[in-house]
Amino acid sequence: MIIVRSTEVCKMPKYDYEYYSGAESDQFRFLRIPKVFFEDSDYEDLGLAEYVLYGFLHELVDYSHKKGWVDKDGRTYVIWTVASMQKVLRCSEDKARSTLKNLVDFGLVERKRRGQGKSDILYVKNFITKKAEISGSENNDGCGKLFSETENNGVLSVEITESGEGKFPILESADSVPKDNNNYLKNIIEPNHNLIQVTGNTTGAAESVDNSGWDEDVIREDIAQIKENIYYDEMSARYRAEYNSRFDELFEVMVDLVAGKRESLNIGGTEYPQWLVRKRILSLTASHVEYVMGMIAENLGKIHNMRKYMIASLFNAPTTMDNYFTQLVHHDMHTEEWYEMSQKMARQREAERNAKIQELEERQIGQLSSDEENMRRAANE
């Protein structure tokens, strides 16, 4: 009998965990992912990364509500950075952005951009009820009969093995950073619940969000129109050489002004509705932008807040540019240089007139001489 001994080396696990012996598993922190994602074929287009990210976003809705992140329609929204998504998904930035985009495209998350370096606003949609698939037809309003899960609304609990509190995704806002990180996030574990209640001592007024929506296609069209109006592609090289990065800065400010979903904007101490701001910016031409760049160059040392100055100058350019150049010409007409130039032009006109008179007189004299000569010849004959 031949005995074959296995040469395979049994690899020891990296960590040695304790066994469950009862219901103590209910005391730990778990991430809640809707079980319907795994059982309903409608969600098969999404992957595990999307399921996990939705679970984290859904978990943070309660904290956002307590913080006061509620819009005018009473809808709670989440502010969460891509960096935090990378951390919990353990992936690259591109993968995190792609995962979020998939949730947005699917309809489980609605995203609104705020610009100016601020994190996007995210609305986490309710997975329990959904509308019929939105048709691409323009005549279809995209609304259908509400579908409700009645039997399989269970929750699949996926344990997140974390060694400490610091690995829990921190809800971040671009507007405020907590001063005390120890008290910023506190997890209270409740028996027989797989939910994490998030509380904190952060302060600050709730941010108001415009409920008019954010249309990415409209923003793209506005940007394209701005580029066309100011001849961005044709003039950018010359403007950059003459004004350094000022041209690109003005372009970015213009995009922010038309893309902002605010009800109004304070410009120079006056409150203007957003629709008027957008309309005014979309009417700007290359001449207006060049005029603003010239004004900035002339007053660079006097400007304390460059962005506010840019906004005010761009907004007022259509109404101030013509008056500015008219006054400039009027001012030049009263300078000594203008006076000397006007006198010189008058002398030139006088000299030209005298030359013409002299030429005419010489012609007349020549004609008279010719007539006298002819008369003399006729008399002699």
Whether residues 194 and 223 fall in one domain: no
Burial class of 328 by CB neighbour count within 10 A (0 to 12, 13 to 18, 19+): exposed
- Domain range for residue 308? 216-333
Which CATH number goes with the domain that contains 192? 1.10.10.10
Final residue belonging to a domain, choices 312, 333, 354: 333
Whether residues 160 and 226 fall in one domain: no
Residue 377 inside a domain? The answer is no
**What 8-state DSSP symbol labels residue 203?**
-
Predicted confidence pLDDT, tens digits, the chain (381 residues): 455 555 555 667 877 777 666 555 555 677 888 888 888 888 888 889 999 999 899 888 887 887 788 888 888 898 888 888 888 898 988 888 889 999 998 889 998 887 766 778 899 988 776 555 554 444 444 333 333 333 444 444 344 444 333 333 444 443 433 334 333 333 323 333 333 333 333 333 333 334 344 567 778 888 888 988 888 887 777 776 766 678 888 888 999 888 877 888 898 888 999 888 988 999 888 888 888 888 888 877 778 888 888 898 899 888 887 655 555 445 444 455 655 666 677 777 778 777 877 877 777 777 777 767 777 777 776
Whether residues 245 and 97 fall in one domain: no
Give the amino acid at 176: S
Whether residues 299 and 173 fall in one domain: no
Residue 352 inside a domain? The answer is no
Q: Which residues on neighbouring strands pair with residue 148, listed in sequence order? A: 129
Whether residues 178 and 221 fall in one domain: no
Residue 15 inside a domain? The answer is no
**Number of domains comprising the chain:** 2
Whether residues 54 and 96 fall in one domain: yes
Whether residues 118 and 231 fall in one domain: no
Structure tokens at 177: 């950073």
Structure tokens at 260: 């902002």
Whether residues 58 and 180 fall in one domain: yes
Whether residues 166 and 252 fall in one domain: no
How many H-runs (helices) and E-runs (strands) does the chain carry? 12, 11
Whether residues 162 and 292 fall in one domain: no
Q: Report the distance separating Cα 185 and Cα 33, nearest Å.
A: 22
Whether residues 48 and 102 fall in one domain: yes
